[in-house]
A and B are shown apart, each in its own frame.
Chain A
Amino acid sequence: MMAVGLAFIYVPLVVIVVNSFNASTVFAWPPRRLTTTWWSQTAGNPSVRAAVATSLEVAVVATAVALVLGTLLAFALARYSFFGRQALSLLVVLPIALPGIVTALAFRTGFRTFLGLELSIWTVAVAHATFCVVIVYNNAVARLRRTGLAPEEASMDLGADGFTTFRLVTFPLLRGAILAGALLAFGLSFDEIVVTLFTAPPGVTTLPIWIFQNLQRPNQAPVVNVVAAVLVLVSVVPIYLSQRFAGESTAGGRI
């Protein structure tokens, strides 16, 4: 059953990678002839490069915001009990727990009709940051719960004040988890399409939007195939790094 499950998970990904070498521009399994032409063509494709740059900009801003907000929330919710704590912890997961279309349309109406903003790359980043908070939060809160208060109390007993304790004890203990959270938040933002399509104006093209637009264009298929294969291959990186940073097997707080 495990083998069947893993085959179910990996066969489609293998198909994507193999298909990027398919000499024919029309998909048919099994491929008749293989080529590397599409790979070299894609590397120089300006629209792909621009889309990657846009995605990176959005992901950097979203991750930075999520990093600050998620860490602050983790401290508040892990270390204190207060009125509304339950509600707040629900509010943090809500952006990813509610159906995607709801979150997407809510952001659009919120930005446009409530806040009166024009859509831009910033509205995309703000929306991304909001659902990335939970990723950083989950990673940080798990670590805070596990380490407990003892190391900090020991530090204070030895005469360090609150700031020194944070700098020398709390933060180093938390650093791995926060880094892992940031990395995974970055990955989520880079890959997001459901909310992005509703919060991006025409002209702001992230990589997923570029793929989505070009899926319907048959003559772009070889380039889409290569981009898809690259995305499959690099998806190993965040998992590998986050496991090294966090030093534990984690779903990346995506769950």
Chain B
Amino acid sequence: MSALATDVRGERPAPSLRRRLSAALFRHPRVRLAGLLALPTAWLVLVYLSALASLLVTAFFTVDEFTNAVVRRFTLGNVRDVLSSPAYLGAALRTVAIAVAVTVLCALLGFPMAFFMAKVAPPRARNLLVALVVTPLWASYLVKVYAWQAMVQPGTGLLAWLLKPFGLSSPGYGVTATVLTLTYLWLPYMVLPVYAGLGRMPDSLLDASGDLGARPARTVRSVVVPLIWPSIVAGSVFTFSLSLGDYITVQIVGGRTQMIGNIVYQTYASNLPFAAAIALIPVAVMVVYLTLVRRTGALDNL
């Protein structure tokens, strides 16, 4: 019996190098993992984390007054200048207010759209509606801002033309136009997570709430919104962060409105450390925001 087994085994050729390598990898998951991780981790650390670190460090450097070159001497001067200047703090507050307004508008407009897509529209139409919402996400960002320049243009823009019969005029370039344009740009970032969240919520909960006597508004407030809150928060991370860091939109449709982004854009060429110090404001705001929303579990949905 054992002789037969030996014979059978003996007929097999010796395992090839490839086969042995494959077996070795199979037995050592840590080696496989290291192989997978080496390249991407090295890239992210060397290119991205080092960039973030150098931004942080540069904020505490200074510049040569004549050449504008960065001088590697530690100073708290930039941070102190930013924090003691009403103009910069005002711009920071304005930027946060704009980001909050955009996020709230996206949620108010995006929730009913997502609800319609997930729960009201016939299932056949759902994919089409998702495609209709997603497609403009891939139309050029700059082109969309340009479109809104044409929309809000005072006197001859499309909004002016639409509002004229009602005796109203276009908001023109300014904070309102900036909020409108940013809402337009980031709306799909709110609709899609909320749509996905609603898709995971069983329809029977809506029926149960109705059977227990709740009117639709009450069902939305007490059942739907609490359940999909993490999805709304996940969307808000994007709408908030993207608005916070924008400097192009406000240049094109914002008139003379100053946001953190365009102050950085205007100062980085002449005083990089100072621009870096200003850029720490949105970083700090985002850290606070992410810490606040961490409890909702929304960050697992990103």
Asked whether any CB of chain A lies closer than 8 Å to the CB of B138, the reply is yes
The listed residue (A91, A212, A231) touching B44 by CB distance below 8 A is A91
Asked whether any CB of chain A lies closer than 8 Å to the CB of B168, the reply is no
CA distance A220 to B47 in the complex (A): 37
Main secondary structure of the interface of A (DSSP, over half): helix
Asked whether any CB of chain A lies closer than 8 Å to the CB of B112, the reply is yes
B116 touches A252 (CB 8 A): no
> 8 Å CB contacts to B: which residues of A1-30?
1-2, 5-6, 8-13, 15-16, 19, 27-30
CA distance A105 to B29 in the complex (A): 39
Asked whether any CB of chain A lies closer than 8 Å to the CB of B107, the reply is no
Asked whether any CB of chain B lies closer than 8 Å to the CB of A38, the reply is no
CA distance A16 to B151 in the complex (A): 10
CA distance A142 to B128 in the complex (A): 21
A17 to chain B, nearest CB (A): 10
Main secondary structure of the interface of B (DSSP, over half): helix
A2-B113, A92-B44, A102-B55 known; A15+B147 contact, CB < 8 A? yes
Nearest-neighbor residue (CB-CB) of A239 within chain B: B135
Nearest-neighbor residue (CB-CB) of B128 within chain A: A249
B248 touches A231 (CB 8 A): no
> 8 Å CB contacts to B: which residues of A101-129?
101-103, 105-111, 113-115, 126-127, 129
B115-155 to A contact mask, C-beta < 8 Å, 1/0: 01100010000110111111111111111101111110100
Q: How many residues of A are counted as interface, with CB atoms below 8 angstroms from the partner's CB atoms?
A: 87
Most chain B CB inside 10 Å of its own CB: which residue of A9, A30, A101: A101
> 8 Å CB contacts to B: which residues of A149-208?
156, 161-163, 184, 187, 191-194, 197-198, 208
B100 to chain A, nearest CB (A): 14
A73-B37, A197-B265 given. 4 additional CB < 8 A pairs? A16-B147, A92-B44, A208-B142, A249-B131
